[in-house]
Amino acid sequence: MKDEPPVPRLDSIIGFHPSIRFVVTAGRYGTILDAIKRRGVTSLEPSSEMRTVTERYAVLYGLTQSSNDYFGKPRAIIVRTDELVELLFPFADRMVIISAQPSFPLGKTGELEKMLQSLMKG
């Protein structure tokens, strides 16, 4: 079995904005590599479902691949629900899933993407 690449420091991502609740790094098929939550935050889904949720996001990312030739590679996928904003950032060997309160300013997505790119390099 091949070792997974090292996971970047997730605490700096939590500190990016006060509305960020959870940060998960997952492998290409939804395997959870690392996760961190903001102190005092409770998950909206049972912990037993966390893997299922990340696997569904991996499928969602996979569904976007068919349009890469036309639109380019996705840099971020945003899922907005009544309770959360989920931001998925795909990288070559993993994806970073950030769960935030609905108040997360979507205008900061590009800044967050740059921060993640920097973390993935180092």
Whether 48 is covered by a domain: the verdict is: yes
Domain that holds residue 31: 11-116
Q: How many domains does the chain have?
A: 1
pTM: 0.83
Instruction: Find the CATH number of the domain harbouring 34.
Output: 3.30.450.30
Of 67, 65, 116, nearest to 87 (Cα)? Answer: 116
- Burial tier of 96 (Cβ tally within 10 Å: 0-12, 13-18, 19+): buried
Whether 2 is covered by a domain: the verdict is: no
pLDDT tens digits, the chain, 122 residues: what are they? 233 444 557 788 998 999 999 998 888 778 888 888 888 888 887 777 777 777 877 777 777 777 778 888 888 889 999 999 999 998 878 889 899 999 999 999 999 999 999 888 75
Whether 3 is covered by a domain: the verdict is: no
Whether 4 is covered by a domain: the verdict is: no
Whether 28 is covered by a domain: the verdict is: yes
